[in-house]
Amino acid sequence: MKIAIFGASGGTGLLLTNRCLAAGHQVTALLRSPEAFPLRHRVDAIYGNACDGHAVLKTVADSDVVLSALGARTWGKEDVLENAVPHIVTAMRQTGVRRIIALGSAGALPDSLDKQPFLNRWIVQRFVYNTFLKWPVASQVSQYATLSASGLDWTMVMPPLLNNAPGRGRYRIDGEALPRNGSRISREDVADFMMQQIDSPQWIKKYVYITW
């Protein structure tokens, strides 16, 4: 397949790019600094950023699937997803590309913590989602709103805290809320799950929580 990747230079995005190439897919990646990208000689690198509609359109054109690993890099107000995801959706509509698998966050929906013990839920909601990660969570809320209203064949994969530990190859998934006591998962496992969605209709037009 021809796969367009946004956020390819990030921790999860680089894993996705590696996996796409290993599977024999042709990859187009939108990059702010193509010269610094370790896989630059193996992908069709488009110079630019995801907040530039023209660069996004060029990246999406002729693709079969879009993978997005975009997200906040700091705890501050960046508005990356607020600006980028509408451009991606518009480009997909213009080019007829329907499938997008996006990396989200367990904090994107108000009922995400419904299956957690009360004390855990109270702490995470009050001190994490409402304080430290206030702006990144707001961005994920925006991404969900844009994708769910897009009419595209979207899937939003929503993990809790990501880490760089080796993947375990086993994890819990849930289409309603974050599984009980779920608090972390490796980027490798999330990347593997996102790759599985390329050929699977199970989570089309749906969000899915994933955690160890």
pLDDT band at residue 77 using 50, 70 and 90 as cut-offs: confident
CA distance 71 to 7: 8
Total length of the chain: 212
Residue in the structure block whose two tokens are 């993978």: 67
Torsion sign, CA atoms 184, 188, 194, 197: negative
* CATH class of segment(s) 2-211: alpha beta
Q: What average pLDDT score do residues 99-105 get?
A: 98
End-to-end Cα distance, the chain: 30
Alpha carbons 26 and 206: distance in angstroms, whole number: 26
Q: At residue 179, does pLDDT exceed 90?
A: yes
Helices (H), the chain: 11-22, 53-60, 80-95, 118-123, 134-148, 187-196
- DSSP 8-state code for residue 36: G
- Average pLDDT (152-157) is 98
Q: Give the model's pLDDT for residue 74.
A: 80
Tell if the pTM clears 0.75, that is, is over it.
Answer: yes
